[in-house]
Amino acid sequence: MEKSMNRREWLKSTGKVALAVAVAPLVFAPLAEAGTLASKASVHYQGTPSGSNMCSNCANFVPGSTAKAMGTCKLVAGAISPEGYCYDYVPS
């Protein structure tokens, strides 16, 4: 004898799927983002410029709220100083 799913059981099972679909991006997006950025050590990041080359004039730099505030980088993980520098420097 085949057991058929009643409406309540169907709602319970589809509700779990909908919840999983809604929560997955919140769980996996930060992990994926962290996985795509290089570590500071791997690009020899330093908190000081290399001559006139520095993060604030690098094409990969994303400035913070002010010119002197810590920003972020499109390639390197973590807070980035506008006066920093690394091997991935690209003049802007």
Percentages helix, strand, coil for the chain (3-state, rounded to 5) are: 40, 15, 45
Q: Do 54 and 82 touch, CB atoms closer than 8 A?
A: yes
**Residue 75 sits in the site that holds ligand SF4 (CB under 6 A):** yes
Give the shortest CB-31-to-ligand SF4 separation in angstroms.
21
**Which segment (2-10, 11-19, 23-31, 53-61) binds ligand SF4 by CB under 6 A?**
53-61
Cα torsion 17, 23, 25, 30 to 10°: value is -150
**Residue 76 sits in the site that holds ligand SF4 (CB under 6 A):** yes
The interface with ligand SF4 within residues 14-43 (CB under 6 A) comprises 43
**Residue 77 sits in the site that holds ligand SF4 (CB under 6 A):** no
